[in-house]
Structure 1
Amino acid sequence: MKKAMSAQGTKMYLEDLTSAPTATGAIVSASASEPVYAVFDDVSKLKNGEPVLITGTGWPSLDNQSFVLQDLDVNGKSAALYGSDATEETAEFGDLSMWSLSTFIDLCARTYSVQQTPATSIDTTTLCDDEKTSLVGFRDPGTFTFDFFIDPTDPAYLALLAAYDDGEVRMLEVVYRNKAVRTLPVIVQSISETGGVDQAVAGSCTMKITGAPVLTQPPDSGQPAEQYNLSVTVTPASGDAPLHVTMQLTETGGAAAKYAIDWKDGSTVENLIGSKTTTHNYETVGSYEAAVTATVGNKAQPVVKANPVTVANAGG
């Protein structure tokens, strides 16, 4: 624990529930897995560590809940929804599935502190015991406090006051200078103000943490990658057009979150999530070698080619 990092450059953002979302869009597909991997129509405004609200999927495990994005793949337009579990879902994924990203205000703190309260100790000692006995009780998530300078006309300060007035749960993002993100659900409990001769007007805010923080690691965090291997088999290997083929993916040394499949016939790249098999129709005569790029964690693996497939003219 000797590695150090400067606090300078750390950013803090608080969700603003009174403003319209900064971005919305459709969810193309999602895996019935733990966690859920979702494919979005657009990820240009999304980042790792941000919470998005999910609606319209028809899956009770997802609908009207916010999930923190992790393993964001810009090219594949997909991400994992941290803490989600759709393994029990049996319904079809809804065609009206949507995501929305809330507006966040920049708190621009001077200093901050996260205080995590130890679990309570429950005394269970009786007169029959020879020594003290106890049980470990619930752990309090703690508080988040920060100091800041006050300008009473600043929209961010007014939004902070509104958060104090309504007492609703909001998401707080702490973005470190190395791009790691800590996301916490909080309630604004108190705001104080101080001032004096030769002093800037300053404030202090205390927020109650209401749940478990989510720590999202930055891309290329230096963690060693697993030794991962993928083999791709397409059957049948030959036939007349139009040829209906099945792709089977077999992997060792890890499990990919998703696969980008280029069928090499000019069709759109297919993003496969939550399955290791898929099908395709080759409509045109020719020879094709499909290529698959697997993503393990947040790293795209080297492209793996399938066996060649030859499509002949049905008329000979």
Structure 2
Amino acid sequence: MKKAISAQNTKMYLENPNAAPVASGKLTSASASTPCVVVFDDVSKVANGAPVYITGSGWTSIDNQEWVIQNLDKDAKAASLAQSDTSAETATLGKDAAWTINAFADVCAQSYQINQTPATSIDTTTLCDEEKTSLVGFRDPGTLTFDFFIDPTDPDYLALLEAYDDGEERMFEIIYRNGAVRTLPVIVQSINETGGVDQAVHGAATLKITGQPILTQPSQAAACPYVLTVAVAPLSGPSPLAVTVTLTETGGHASNFAIDYGDETTDTLPAGTVTKEYTYATAGSYTVTVTPNFKGIPGSVISSAQVTAS
């Protein structure tokens, strides 16, 4: 670990959910996988390492939570959600699936320090032992402290005070000069102010880290995610119902696809399949599921669509 980078030009931002969001939109697709890969309707203001809030997907594993964006492919408008797991989801992605990226306040730190607290050591030594024995206890994520200059009229400083007053968890971003991003969930614990003759008004803040930090590598080093989108048309109609299943791949190509039409009929589609015709002979509600056979992607990665024949 001899490689070093300068701390100069490191940017630090504290999430400000009380301000207007910087970006929002719809999710057009999502994969049932670990991690979940989502497709945005617009990625012009989406970036690796940014926390995105998901609502309306109908998937409890990701709804009403913030997830850190990784492996962003702007051409495909696709990205993975760090530490997410939607592999158990079987429902079709909700038509109201939406995303929001909140505004951030620039803390413009003079210096900073991340203080990780060592895990406790639990002594398990008994008279039977020939030497000391122990177990590792819980680890405290620690604190983040930074120094800054205060201007009481600065909106970003006021946003920091709001975070201290409400005590709500927020995301904190450290963007290094080489493009790497460290994203941490924090609560502002304290803000101190000092001043003196021939000195600038100076501040210091202590933020409690409330969860595991996520480190996102620069976009040029990130691998493009693979995502499969399944569309069925029409989604409903009288039986017998003839439908067209359309497969769209981004980030790679599967060697074949296992398709389950939901009526006890299955098939294997060859690589490069774009559309497949199928007819539902009897009335009912069916879930079309497609599992790509793609190198490095587990078989649990599926995309699905709901069809109703009346």
TM-score, structure 2 normalization: 0.73
How far 1:296 moved relative to its partner?
A: 9.5
Residue 2 (structure 1) shift = 1.1
Q: Report the 3-state secondary structure (helix = DSSP H, G, I; strand = E; otherwise coil) of the residue aligned with 1:144.
A: strand
TM alignment of 1:253-272, pairs within 5 A = 257-258=251-252
Q: 1:22 to 1:246 in 2, by over 3 A?
A: closer
Where does residue 52 of structure 1 map in the other structure? 52
- Indicate the residue corresponding to 1:141 in structure 2: 141
Secondary structure of the structure 1 residue equivalent to 2:141: coil
Alignment correspondent of 1:18: 18
Structure 1: 4+ residue segments shifted above 4 A: 244-249, 256-260, 275-278, 294-297
1:120-156 deviations in Å (ceiling 9; x for gaps) = 1011123343322111001111110000000111111
Report the equivalent of 2:274. 279
Give distance in 2, aligned partners of 1:67 and 1:281: 34
Instruction: Please state how far the C-alpha of 1:93 moved relative to its aligned partner.
Output: 0.8
2:201 corresponds to which letter in structure 1?
V
Once residues 87 and 296 of structure 2 are traced to their aligned partners in structure 1, the CA distance between those partners, rounded to angstroms, is 20
Q: 1:118 to 1:203 in 2, by over 3 A?
A: same
1:99 alignment partner, SS class: strand
Residue 17 of structure 1: CA displacement?
2.0
What's the counterpart of residue 98 of structure 2?
98
Contact 2:52 2:101 in 1 (8 A): yes
Match of residue 38 from structure 1: 38
DSSP 3-state at the match of 1:163: helix
2:104, 2:271 → 1: CA distance? 38
Q: Does the aligned pair in 2 maintain the 1:257–1:296 contact within 8 Å?
A: no
Shift of 1:66: 0.6
Contact 2:248-2:274 at 8 Å conserved across structures:
no
Answer whether contact 1:115 1:143 (CA < 8 A) is retained: yes
Distance in 2 between residues matched to 1:137 and 1:14, nearest whole Å = 30
Distance 1:195 1:63 in 2: 45
Instruction: Answer yes or no: is the 8 Å Cα contact 1:122–1:135 preserved in 2.
Output: yes
Q: RMSD of the TM alignment (CA)?
A: 2.9
In structure 2, what is the Cα distance between the partners aligned to 1:104 and 1:213?
A: 17
- SS of structure 2 residue aligned to 1:127: coil
Q: Give the Cα separation in 1 of the matches to 2:247 and 2:130.
A: 67
> In the aligned structure 2, how far is the partner of 1:53 from the partner of 1:276?
34
User: Structure 2: which 5+ residue stretches go unaligned?
Assistant: 225-243, 255-269, 278-293, 298-310
Whole-angstrom distance in 2 between the partners of 1:248 and 1:53: 25
Verify the 8 A CA contact 1:259 1:295 in the aligned structure 2. Answer: no
Tell me whether 1:155 sits opposite 2:150 in the alignment.
no
Distance 1:258 1:82 in 2: 20
CA shift for structure 1 position 281: 7.0
Counterpart for residue 4 of structure 2? 4
> Following superposition of structure 1 onto structure 2, how do residues 1-316 of structure 1 map, counting pairs within 5 Å?
1-221=1-221, 257-258=251-252, 278-280=273-275
Provide the rounded CA distance (Å) in 2 between the counterparts of 1:145 and 1:182: 15
Once the two structures are superposed, residues 176-212 of structure 1 have per-residue CA deviations (whole angstroms, 9 ceiling, x without a partner) of 0111100000010111011111110000001011111
Does the CA contact (< 8 Å) of 1:56 and 1:63 recur in 2? Answer: yes
Q: CA deviation at 1:106?
A: 0.3
Assess if the C-alpha contact under 8 Å between 2:106 and 2:156 holds in 1. Answer: yes
SS at match of 1:161: helix
CA contact (8 A) 2:72 2:219 kept: no
With structure 1 as the length reference, what TM-score do the two structures score?
0.72
Structure 1 runs not aligned, ≥5 long: 227-243, 250-255, 261-274, 283-293, 298-316
Percent of paired sites with the same residue: 62
Q: Following TM superposition, by how much is the alpha carbon of 1:220 offset from its aligned partner in structure 2, in angstroms?
A: 2.3
Distance 2:39 2:87 in 1: 17
Q: State the shift of 1:21 in Å.
A: 1.5
